[in-house]
């Protein structure tokens, strides 16, 4: 039993020593750990919900939405958002019992100035969810689908911000 107390004391001492010297886990510091401090977002064909989710995801990572390209580490252009719903399963009577929800976000990341810097090719992020239909409780199923789609938009925004951070980190454009 004495060895478990010793292990706990040693791990606590190691944590205190590492935090005292400024050690942080990757992604734990300001800017998400990748140096992303600000991004200019062009939601060309994006719904307002995605624009709000991007602002929230940037704030979660210690970054902000920049007002101009000169103040941004990267420029994110959302070219389109596609929502789909496919039938995943049928019940015994032939009615839909489960759906597969799709959210596909098409975007392009461009580096901050200088403007002659080559931009990355157009990319896509796909978020899928499986949703069981509640049978006769149609309103409950509709509410659950709306909530699930909102969560999918948040997930897509977080993935976009992670991609922005990796693009900045790879290009060395972090100032």
Domain range for 3 is 1-29
* pLDDT (tens digit per residue) in 118-173: 556 789 999 999 988 766 665 567 788 889 999 999 999 999 988 888 877 666 54
* pLDDT (tens digit per residue) in 2-59: 555 665 555 555 555 555 444 444 444 444 445 677 787 877 778 889 989 988 898 8
Check residues 111 and 156 and name the one with the higher pLDDT: 156
DSSP string, 116-150: TSPPPPPEEEEEEEEEE--TT-HHHHHHHHHHHHH
The mean pLDDT value for 58-87 works out to: 84
Shared-domain flag, residues 17 and 46: no
User: 145 Cβ partners below 8 Å, 6+ apart?
Assistant: 85, 99, 101, 131
DSSP string, 46-77: --HHHHHHHHHHHHHTT-EE-SSGGG-SEEEE
Check residue 105 and give its pLDDT: 93
Task: Write the CA distances from 129 to 12, 57, 145, 155, integer angstroms.
Answer: 40, 20, 10, 11
Shared-domain flag, residues 47 and 120: yes
Asked if 159 and 66 touch (Cβ cutoff 8 Å), the reply is no
Shared-domain flag, residues 86 and 124: yes
Shared-domain flag, residues 88 and 145: yes
Per the confidence metrics, is the pTM higher than 0.75? no
């Amino acid at each position: 039993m004495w060895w478990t107390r010793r292990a706990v004391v040693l791990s606590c001492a190691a944590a205190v020593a590492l935090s005292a010297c400024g050690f942080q886990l990757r992604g734990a510091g300001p800017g998400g750990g990748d140096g992303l401090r600000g991004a200019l977002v062009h939601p060309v064909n994006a719904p307002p919900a995605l624009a709000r989710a991007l602002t929230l995801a940037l704030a979660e990572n210690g970054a902000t939405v920049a007002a101009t390209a000169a103040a941004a580490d990267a420029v994110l252009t959302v070219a389109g958002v596609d929502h789909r719903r496919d039938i995943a399963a049928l019940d015994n009577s032939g009615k839909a019992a489960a759906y597969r929800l799709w959210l596909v976000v098409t975007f392009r990341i461009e580096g901050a100035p200088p403007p002659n810097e080559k931009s990355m090719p157009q990319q896509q992020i796909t978020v899928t969810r499986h949703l069981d239909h509640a049978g006769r409780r149609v309103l409950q199923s509709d509410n659950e689908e709306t909530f699930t789609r909102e969560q999918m938009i948040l997930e897509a925004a977080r993935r976009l911000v992670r991609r922005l951070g990796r693009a900045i980190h790879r290009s060395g454009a972090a100032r």
